[in-house]
Structure 1
Amino acid sequence: DTTESIKGKHLTQDERAQIAILKRENYSNRQIAERLGRVPQTINNEINRGTVKQMRRQKQNGKTYDYYHTVYDPDSAHAAYMENRKRCGRRPKWSLSDAFVDWADTQMLDHHWSPDAVIGVAKQRDLFPVSLIPCTTTLYNWIDRQILRTKNMDLTEKLHRNTKSKRRKAPGHKRKMGPSISERPDAVNTRETFGHWEIDTVIGAKHKHDAVLLTLAERQTRFEVILKIDGKAAQPVTQAVASLVERAGAHMPSLFQTITS
């Protein structure tokens, strides 16, 4: 099979998480490239950049032994990528100062402002130099690229944001998927308590029989659980969640208070 490469698009954090899982399952770099729809050299470069040395300490017969091994770490790879991006070509606005990014995150996460409100207030009150304030579309792009701590799930108004023509008629058979995200308890939005999770599926190369990653992120700690499932349909997702419930056992009520999809 010929790999159809994705040109002009850098690897995302989700793709790096998939690479880490596939490496643990002993996939070759070429097989990983096929799964993600990338050229093999891109995967080779990524794994070289993200490979780190780790130490495992073991005690035996009263003596301590240190063992070193190398492993691909997606977080280290993403940090190296972000650092390289700062140094190449024209520096993006988000890399010029952390002040605006941190302030924007605070307004959107703690005060539930929309990106439009963040940009409007920043300009109106002259809170930052003009060179540090992006346009609203750019701020949305930063969120999509996971440059900020804010995620799309944190933006309740984005579900209603329509960037396409208003002449398109909404389908009349849209299913009701349950309570709106806007109805979540305040404890979920303020991140004051542990146990509130967000669940999503991540799809790599879109082939018929490809596996899917199910991700669960805990809102207070940002701790993530990533599971490999057979597809994005309801049955494999339900089976994966059921396996988590079984593992949690008696700790289930304290570990999983709410799950938002």
Structure 2
Amino acid sequence: MTHSQTNTHKHYQQLSFSDRATIQALRAAGDTATVIAQKLHRSKATISREITRGSVTQLDSKRHSYQVYLAETAQAMHDRKRDRTGHYAFLKTGRAFFKALARELTRKPRVHSVDSFVHFYRDQGKACPSTTTVYRYIDAGLLELDNMTLPKKLRRRIKGYKNAHKRKNKKIYGDSIELHPAAVNDRTGVGHWEGDLVKGIRLADEPALMTLTERYSRTVIIVKIPDYHAGTCLKALQDTIDDYGAKEFESITFDNGSEFAKLSEIVGT
């Protein structure tokens, strides 16, 4: 018994942001902590504690409160806890990330913001700090970057953003998130969504979950897709927009993954 407990502890791994995104999707789909633990091959206690820590209270349209688990909230709490205890692990282990981030933020024309690059980096299966943590490091003067190098925070509408030049090539799909109107970034208006894929196996022919999260209300739509080729993602998103009504989707933001290469062909938003 003692030997078994020792091995379990030895091989314990902390939850990653990808794990937390999966938990959010599965909770939204109605799975219990027990089922999620089985799917992620973690203990029920680990998942239960994670759900408790990462859950926030929200109000529905009738002002009734309910609890919802959010991956970004859980990750930010995890990062803050690590920082409070004096562990700035990413300053040492994340040198490759910070070097790549500095290169991207000084690229002309600039493609990524801090937030989009964090998501892009994680999508490669690499570990990196949250957006909040990166900004905290910058404000504390712990990085070579400073606030003057960061993309401007869009607290007001950019004049003529709808007619701005679209930077596209074979690797950059659609418009940069720097062209977002202020309502998207400040979460002051409804109808602006963020899209992502939850992948169990990183093979494009395997099933996945497409998640759409409304930035203001945090409403989540989850669609199961048979694979995540670009054409499949396009059809799944178009069907969802048609089912719910185009008026519900003012804008939808995805990362720059190749599976989203055809989403600029969407009709209705």
TM-score calculated relative to the size of structure 1: 0.48
TM-score calculated relative to the size of structure 2: 0.47
Q: Which of the two has higher C-alpha Rg? A: 1
